Amino acid sequence: MSVQEIVRPAAASNLVMEARNVTVRFPIEDAPEVTAVNNFSIQIKPGEFIGIMGEPGCGKSVAAQALLGLVRPPGYLASGEVLFQGHDLLKMDPEESRKLRGKDIGMIVQNPRYSLHPMYRVGQQIAKVYRAHNPVTKQEAWDHAIAMLRMVGINDPERRANAYAHELSSGMAQRVLIAIALSSKPKLLIADEPTSGLDVTIQAQFLDQMWENVRQTNAAVVLVTQDLGIVANYCDRVLIMHKGSVVEQADVHSFFRSPNHEYSRAILALQREETSEERNTREVKVDSTSKPLIKVDKLTKLFPIRRSESKVHAVDGASFEIRPGECLGLVGESGSGKTTAGRCLLRLVEPTSGDIFYRDLNLSKLTRDEFRKKRDKLQIVFQDPLDSLNPRWTVEQCLMEPLNLHSTMTAEQKRARMQELMQLVGIDPGQIHALPKEMSAGRQQRVSIARAIATNPDFIVLDEPTSALTPETTAEIIRLLMDLSRKLGIAYLFISHDLTTVKYICHRVVVMYLGQVVEVGTKDQVFNTPAHPYAKALLSSHLFPNVENRRVDRAVRETLQGEIPSPITERLPKGCYLYGRCPSQKDRCKAEKQELKTIGDGRQVRCWRVAEGDLPIEVAVGH
Amino acid sequence: MTITPGPQVAATADASGVVVIPKRRRIDIWRKYKEEKLFAFGCTMVAIMLLLALCEILHLELGLPTRITPYDPNFATGNVSVPPPPLADWPGLLVDTIFNGAKPPHWFGTDNSGLDVFSRTIAAPRTDMTIALVAALVSMLLGTFVGLICGFYRNIATEVVMRISDLLQSFPVFITAMVLVALSGRQVWNIVLALAIVYAPIFVRLTRAEVMSQSVRGYVESARAVGNPEWKVAFRHVLPNSLIPSLIQVSSTIGFAILLTSGLSFVGAGVRPPTPEWGLMISLGAPQIILGEWWQSIFPGVAISLTVFSFAAVGHGLEEDYG
Amino acid sequence: MLLRFVTRRLAVAIIQLIGISLFVFFMIRILPADPVARLVGLNATKEAYDLAAHNLGLDQPWGQQLLNYLGIYSNRPGDGVLQGDLGDSWVTSAPILEELVRFLPITLEFITYALLIAFLIAVPMAMAAATKPGKTADRVTFVWGLFAGAQPEFWWGLMFVFFFFFQFHEWGFPSAPAPLGRLNPMVSEPHTITGFILIDSLLAGNFRAFLDGAHHLMLPVFTLVFVVSGAIIKMLRQNMIRVLQSDYILYARSAGLPSRQVGFYAMRAAMAPAMTLVGIFYGFLLGGAVPIELIYSLGGIGEYSIRSILAFDYPAIQGTVLIIAMVSLLIYLVIDILHAAIDPRVTF
């Protein structure tokens, strides 16, 4: 079929692309077909930034790929049409549609490092795509590749063009993908969760860069994401998908103000509740003068590197306290040591030095076996709910284990306790014999929480308990955790990179960077007036789902330069660890080690400029 | 490299929060048997061979009347180098044998010392299957245990054990087996021991690798956090989740063990004649092949080929579902 | 980089070889075999027995035997392994090293050809199978991979002899040669340079020997290809299928690369791990091709090893295992260097 034959009247309109009633189905062995995308329709205007949002498995990625006419096998396009400049991509000759892909329609995907071929230099990969669509020589294509790398903000593009995918960080690899996608100046860019797995400061750098690049070329963007913050801060319009169908389509402003669909309201729940009465009734009032339940003093964890004298400084002299019933937030990017700090607290990782007090007991001085007997009072909930349950154990076995290990109850009492636990966390008694893989992520996490509270602990480390969950489930789990704390008086160490949930649940917040605590303060202090330059940048980079203060509307989009250095002995900065990336640095920062100092309003900050009043504390622009 | 499964298949949670994943559990072995021809064929063949071995062993060890071979596999009949009857005559001969009580013919002919090839072919599983099964099981038990300890407790001692296991694995398998068997006297139990030594390192390596990847899984850390002592973490949590690669491997190892057993006999470093054993039968018939006496070698060879293939098919089927 | 990698690997290899030597040395002495009785016969007098044991050095304690074998503080004439002397065979009295140098190339030659051919066959078959999964080509390749992956190669060898030699002869077809060696006795053997008969005959310009050598190699190589190709195809097919579903292939397609280019992308990624498998086969076949050598009377290192083992010829057993292990380790090294050349993730 030639291109002429399938020209449609729609070519007259000034849409970049129009999809009508696209349906994608997946045949599944021994089961009815799954309709992954059901009657998906979208109209894209030039220069528009459209978000497609939904939970994992709602079909948003499949829909985005279908816009290119691609479906991952064994799926197939059951019906619909995708009109691009008047031609139906789905009926086009494969060679014709190939010519459009990568030239007029660019694509970037999640997992950037796995989406680049592991055995070719990234420059070559950009050049190959460019040559597939443009009549140029090898040398010209290579030069173009380097120009593209420069355009997407990669330092030293000549050197980076010769790198392989495994030598790049995720953020860098994602920039390479966008260089490939934009190399032939496409009219439409489809971005499938481009920043999942990236740290917030890197995510902000990347999205800003993408924003700049597409604004220069006036390309339209379809951005698939499950992050409300990204939608609120960058998109003009949003489509909400649920179970394969578009349930809501709206301008971002009106979407955040008054979502129509029930599902939309569910995912916006946390934000909408934040200031509401409902949250305030949940919040536990903490007596700030009470004796600390947990006291961490100069906690340090160094991991040795094989065949080397130097060490990985995962946690570098961290000190903080947690009071009974309090929820302390521990925030920072990957590599900040927040997870290791949580593990050290429970001695799942043995600290190198430092003390941990539980009431008056120095936990770090106990033998492993003595400590093991204390585990009924000190518990943890992990990030990945499926991974943290034994795949061969039923709910019953998982919940019985702590009781068998720590209690002297009779079998009858244990059974009753188990029923009680299931009721507390909201698991249907009918699921008592379910295996972890047979439950949804939210249920799995409830089992983990039930297991943690089984022995009536005083303190639970929550290690990113919601980061593997959908926004809807996150809201449910956060409410559950707050209720449990209020009913049972449990204190939490809430480790997370998601500042939105931290803001909702925590009383006080600790900010970590490269293994050091850089700022400790109440939630209002840290979130409203961050003092340390890193805390400022972190808050400014974090995309709060607030359409009144969009990042793209700000005059100055504050972020940090470059990437986080690797925390290896000799690579760590000599003075302040932020030196080299900090927008407020001075010469003195280069060589002077920074100490955590208490400042006027009672919080602690690791920055001499703040401590000496050299750097004014301003209201943050983040939200 | 990881392959992200199509997100559409990964999770289709319904309203009750129950994820619909096509379940694969114990009961499915039976369904698999009914649905997959290759797997069914493998299972059937393996079962037949086990049955043949059992009949012969029960007869030899307990004197039960379970011998089903028409002739004694160890005693010559006096008819030397008789070719098998032509296929066209088989139906008639069968009727005669079964209903008229005639003396059974030499279905597969006799070899050049007068032994009935058919009787020996169906008596041989007692040697081949016993050696292969016991050797594979011993090496699996040994290898899994060592692998678990070496993977779970990482210290100098277990490192040394691993090095020794690696060294064993870098030996030329066939030559090691020949040396072990030939120098220890070519008895059945020596062959079993030799094979177990040769194959154990594979299981050590497999189990250790799996234990190491399981050990960094969240549920292991959870098990510690709940308050399990280390040995309970190792045996109650890690071990049951680390067995699958070994269980899959054991099927193909039995196949390889049969190949090695018969290969050793073939080169003269295995069981002694006149033990009914496939490799030995092929070896005894080999000089006759260029004289055109094909029947002495062909039938035991077909038996090996089918049996080994069956174990491979079963192993593949298990790997497909549980690997 | 490369040099440092090679030196480090060689150093490790030497340690492994020492380990293997010690292991074999003690293993054959722990096992209950009596080489002296094997040599002098069971009816020999006590004196004759003791004399033989003394002549072989077996009357010494194991520690001293080891020193004699290694060639340090030796109390016997002649050098040891450390001086590069593997000792003399107890059966033929010839220096073992010389015998091995003569026999090793014979085995190397036919397994090299077989692995090359198997790889060349496997690549297009795996490609065809993986690009259209579930179709006929794929089913055939799959069953073949499963079937030929584990087969009694000695039996297939015999069947091929029966069919291509005996039956073809009967039918009056041009048949394979009798399985009685590497060359027809009437053909003059080329002067040994590499030990590979095809290469030596070409170097000597002896085309008759070349053709006859190829004729004689045909069946043994075919037999090996038959049993080895299955496993290689199986692995390549699995690799190809996995690679074709990978994110980078999907991305290459969505970036609009032409399908030929996508094919190259996939090939390169699928090939690298399969090369390692070929290396493992090399090591395995060096000692494992014994039955095939026996069937075709090739007289390679496998045949030498079984002869030595059945005769309880300790020095020859030790020497054979050592040499085979050494060659295997060298081949693994070469394969690893090649692997690193196509896959940059493998670092030296």
DSSP letter for each residue of C303-321:
HHHHHHHHTT-HHHHHHHH
Could you say which of C152, C294, C325 has the minimum Cβ distance to residue B301? C152
By residue count, chain C amounts to 348
Of residues C255, C265, C272, nearest to A101 (C-beta)? C255
Task: Output the CA angle A309-A315-A319, nearest 5 degrees.
Answer: 140
Residues of C in contact with A102 (CB under 8 A): 254-257
pLDDT band at A175 (very low <50, low <70, confident <90, very high): confident
- Residues of chain A neighbouring C250 (CB-CB closer than 8 A): 70, 72, 109, 115
Average pLDDT of the residues in B308-314: 92
The type of residue at A491 is A
Q: Where are the domains of chain A?
A: 15-104+187-267, 112-185, 388-456, 529-611
Chain A residues whose CB is inside 8 A of the B214 CB are none
pLDDT at A4 over 60: no
* Residue in chain A lying closest to B6 (CA): A72
**Average pLDDT for residues C199-224, to the nearest whole number?**
90
A134 is written with which tokens?
A: 């443009």
Q: Please state whether A69 falls in left (phi above 0), alpha (psi between -120 and 50) or beta.
A: left
Mutation for A interface: C251, C275, C343, C346, most A CBs within 10 A: C251
Q: Which residues of C touch A107 (CB under 8 A)?
A: 251, 254-255
Q: Quote the strand ranges of A323-428, DSSP E.
A: 327-331, 353-358, 361-362, 378-381
Q: How open is the CA angle C303-C309-C310, to the nearest 5 degrees?
A: 95
- The pLDDT of residue A458 is above 90: yes
**Is 50 exceeded by the pLDDT of residue B9?**
no
Closest Cα in chain B to A372: B227
The CA distance from C240 to C270, in Å, is: 5
- Ordered alpha helix ranges (H), chain B: 7-10, 28-35, 37-62, 90-99, 117-123, 125-152, 156-169, 173-184, 188-215, 218-226, 230-232, 239-242, 244-267, 278-289, 295-322
* CB contacts < 8 A (B, C): 153
Residues 208 through 247 of chain B touching chain A, CB cutoff 8 Å: 217-219, 221-229, 237, 240-241
Instruction: State the average pLDDT over residues C312-323.
Output: 93
Please give the residue of chain B at the shortest CA–CA distance from C245. Answer: B3
Q: Which of C20, C146, C286 sits opposite B167 (nearest CB)?
A: C20
Q: State residue C347's pLDDT score.
A: 67
**Residue A163 in contact with partner chain C when CB distance is under 8 A:** no
CA distance A234 to chain C (A): 24
Confidence band of A451 (pLDDT split at 50, 70, 90): very high
Q: Are A577 and A516 in contact (CB under 8 A)?
A: yes
pLDDT higher than threshold 90 for residue A212? no
Confidence of residue B2 (pLDDT cuts 50, 70, 90): very low
A chain contacts of residue B7, beta-carbon cutoff 8 Å: 56-57, 61-62
CB contact under 8 A, B180 and C31: yes
Are C247 and A129 a contacting pair at CB < 8 A?
no
Q: Tokens in use for A393?
A: 């154990």
The total of other beta-carbon atoms located within 10 Å of residue A430's CB is: 9
User: Is pLDDT at C111 greater than 90 in this prediction?
Assistant: yes
For range B100-108, the mean pLDDT: 86
CB nearest to C306's CB, from B176, B269, B282: B269
Mean pLDDT of chain A: 87
Q: Residue length, chain B?
A: 323
Q: Is B301 close to C158, i.e. CB distance below 8 A?
A: yes
Q: Does A164 touch chain C (CB under 8 A)?
A: yes
**How many DSSP H helices and E strands does chain C contain?**
15, 0
Cα Rg, chain A, nearest whole Å: 26
Does any CB of chain A come closer than 8 Å to the CB of residue C255? Answer: yes
The closest of B157, B158, B152 to B224, measured between CA atoms, is: B152
Find chain B residues with C-beta within 8 A of C154's C-beta. Answer: 262-263, 266, 279, 282
Q: Which residues of A touch B229 (CB under 8 A)?
A: 369, 372
Cis peptide before B274 (omega within 30 of 0): yes
Q: Are the beta carbons of C27 and B180 separated by less than 8 Å?
A: yes
- Tell me: the pLDDT tens digits for A98-118? 888 889 999 988 888 889 999
pLDDT in tens, A340-382: 999 999 999 999 999 999 998 999 999 999 999 999 999 999 9
Dist. CA A509–CA A523, nearest whole Å: 6
Residue A558, token pair as written in the block: 């504050």
| Contact C286/B at CB under 8 A | yes
H or E stretch covering A477: helix A471-488
CB-nearest to B18 from A348, A390, A438 is A438
Token duo for residue A242: 């649920």
Q: What is the pLDDT of residues B75-93, one digit of tens each?
A: 888 888 888 998 888 888 8
What is the token pair recorded at B219?
A: 């549920």
CA distance A347 to chain B (A): 9
Which of 3.40.50.300, 3.40.718.10, 3.30.497.10, 3.40.50.720 is the CATH number of A15-104+187-267? 3.40.50.300
- Residues of A numbered 372-431 whose beta carbons fall under 8 angstroms of chain C's beta carbons: which are they? none
Distance from CA of A430 to the nearest CA of C (A): 38
Cα A515 to Cα C217: distance, rounded to the nearest angstrom: 66
Cβ–Cβ below 8 Å for C143 and B263: no
> Scanning the structure block, which residue is given the tokens 């008592």?
A432
Residue-level pLDDT at A620 = 63
Domains of chain C as residue ranges with CATH: 2-83 (no CATH), 96-342 (1.10.3720.10)
The rounded percent of chain C whose pLDDT value lies above 70 is 99
CA torsion, points A361, A365, A366, A368, in degrees to nearest 10? Answer: 140
Lowest mean pLDDT among A36-45, B100-109, B209-218: B100-109
Interchain CB distance below 8 Å, B22 and A30: yes
Distance CA C25, CA B238 (A): 38
Buried-state track C256-281, b at ≥16 Cβ within 10 A, e below 16: bbbeebbebbbbbbbbbbbbbbbbeb
Round the average pLDDT of chain C to a whole number and report it.
87
Residue in chain C lying closest to A108 (CA): C251
Q: Is C341 on the interface with A (CB under 8 A)?
A: no
On whether any CB of chain A is under 8 Å from the CB of B153, the answer is no
C-alpha distance from B62 to closest chain A C-alpha (Å): 42
- Please give the average per-residue pLDDT across B32-58, as a whole number: 90
Among chain B residues, the shortest Cα distance to A56 is held by B7
pLDDT at residue B323, as a whole number:
61
A440 touches B at CB < 8 Å: yes
Residue B244 lies in a domain: yes
Q: What CATH number does the domain containing B14 carry?
A: 1.10.3720.10
Identify the closest residue of chain B to A382 by CA–CA distance. Answer: B218
Burial A473-512 (b: 16+ CB within 10 A, else e): bbbbbbbbbbebbeeeebbbbbbbbbbbbbbbbbbbbbbb
- Res. B182 pLDDT band, cuts 50 70 90: very high
What gap in Å lies between CA C135 and CA A591, rounded to an integer?
Answer: 67
- B127 pLDDT higher than 50: yes
B108 occurs within a structural domain? no
* CB of A440 closer than 8 Å to CB of B19: yes
ipTM: 0.89
Q: What is the C-alpha to C-alpha distance for residues A559 and A561, in angstroms, rounded to an integer?
A: 7
- Answer for the pair B320, B248: CB distance below 8 angstroms, yes or no: no
CA distance C177 to chain B (A): 11
Average pLDDT over residues C43-62: 87
Distance in Å, alpha carbon of B46 to nearest chain A alpha carbon: 28
- Asked if B16 reaches chain A (Cβ–Cβ under 8 Å), the answer is yes
A581-622: per-residue pLDDT in tens?
888 888 888 888 888 899 888 899 999 998 888 887 777 654
Rounded CA separation A126/A130 (Å): 6
* Cβ contact, residue pair B286, C324, below 8 Å: no
Residue A164: the pLDDT is 92
Task: Tell me the two tokens of residue A157.
Answer: 């593009």
Host domain of residue B202: 2-71+116-322
Which of A72, A113, A116, A119 has the most C C-beta neighbours within 10 Å, making it the best mutation to test the interface with C? A119
- The count of domains in chain B is 1
Helix (H) or strand (E) holding A28: strand A17-28
Order of strands across the sheet with A17-28? A31-44, A17-28, A76-84, A87-88
Q: Does C256 touch chain A (CB under 8 A)?
A: yes
Going by pLDDT thresholds of 50, 70 and 90, the confidence category of residue A271 is: low
Question: How far does the CA of residue B70 sit from the closest CA of chain C (Å)?
Answer: 25
Structural contact between residues B219 and A388, judged by C-beta atoms closer than 8 angstroms: yes
Contacts of A343 (CB under 8 A, 6+ apart): A349, A463
Residue A616's pLDDT is what? 79
Structure tokens at A506: 């925590």
**Closest Cβ–Cβ partner in B12, B218, B227 for A34:** B12
- For chain A, say whether B176 makes contact (Cβ under 8 Å): no
C154 and B313 within 8 Å at the Cβ level: the answer is no
Interval A545-563: pLDDT, tens = 888 888 888 776 677 777 7
Asked if B174's CB is within 8 angstroms of C288's CB, the reply is yes
Residue C33: its chain B contacts at CB < 8 A? 182-185
Distance from CA of C155 to the nearest CA of B (A): 6
